[in-house]
């Protein structure tokens, strides 16, 4: 592994969420030499309107799609927690698994979904964001939180920054002009979620969105985040 200053962990509620929210940034950071790790919280087993699809089959399909997308982006490792889609809860057990990942990978930066987006937002997105923020501070930092980790050789860890995608209050914009095509290629790996009709218009829609965000920040194409700096 590289030093913690070069590591990023992405906690995504479902397969494909991080590609929509942050794939251009992830590809850019990988190109700059950072190691990026994925933690996929749910198996996405509810995301199909196909009357012939089963949850078990869909979960397997979506896991493979995420592996392919991660490979396109250059993600170093993908961890699947495999909670059921729509089944995330803010529990001691779920938080502990997130803390474990932070203590294992020891990142400087964490990316996840903004839990504070109002009104229409998938509940798994809200729960994931909230649990990840709590795991970052104070649980992963505090040695006496989840002491079983220390018994296994995992030490406390202090994350420096959290980037939240899907925020209604973005304050950080990252230029993805050179990695936009990689973002689209990664998204197209999620064939079970992106219909042929949507795929035909997706690139244009995503480009328009990235251009609008870029216009706010003086960049050709951008992704936007709310950044939280942890006050140690």
Whether pTM exceeds 0.85: yes
pLDDT at 1 over 90: no
For residue 143, give the H/E element and its range.
none
Query: Where are the alpha helices (H) located in 47-195, listed in sequence order?
Result: 55-73, 92-105, 123-134, 147-151, 180-187
What pLDDT score does 110 carry? 98
Question: CA–CA distance from 87 to each of 17, 52, 128, 129, 139 (Å)?
Answer: 16, 22, 11, 14, 22
Closest CA to 25 of 203, 190, 177, 226: 177
Q: Mind listing the pLDDT tens digit for each residue in 176-203? A: 999 999 999 999 999 999 877 677 799 9
CATH code of the domain occupying 4-229: 3.40.50.10320
Query: How far is residue 73's CA from residue 29's CA, in Å, rounded to a whole number?
Result: 10
């Amino acid at each position: 592994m590289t030093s913690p200053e070069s590591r990023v962990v992405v906690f995504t509620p479902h397969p494909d969420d991080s590609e929509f929210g942050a794939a251009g940034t992830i590809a850019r950071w990988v190109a700059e030499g950072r190691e990026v790790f994925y933690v996929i919280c749910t198996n996405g087993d509810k995301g199909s309107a196909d009357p012939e699809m089963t949850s078990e089959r869909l979960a397997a399909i979506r896991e493979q799609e995420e592996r392919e997308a991660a490979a396109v982006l250059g993600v170093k490792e993908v961890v699947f927690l495999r909670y059921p889609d729509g089944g995330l809860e803010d529990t001691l057990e779920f938080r502990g698994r997130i803390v474990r990942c932070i203590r294992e990978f020891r990142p400087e930066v964490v990316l996840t979904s903004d839990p504070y987006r109002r009104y229409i937002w998938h509940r798994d997105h809200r729960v994931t964001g909230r649990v990840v923020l709590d795991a970052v501070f104070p649980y992963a930092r505090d040695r006496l939180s989840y002491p079983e980790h220390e018994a296994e050789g995992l030490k406390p860890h202090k994350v420096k920054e959290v980037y939240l995608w899907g925020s209604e209050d973005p304050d950080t914009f990252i230029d993805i002009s050179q990695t936009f095509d990689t973002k689209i290629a990664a998204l197209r790996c999620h064939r079970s979620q992106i219909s042929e009709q949507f795929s035909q218009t997706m690139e244009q829609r995503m480009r328009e969105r990235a251009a609008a965000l870029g216009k706010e920040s003086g960049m050709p194409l951008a992704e936007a985040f709310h950044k939280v700096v942890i006050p140690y």
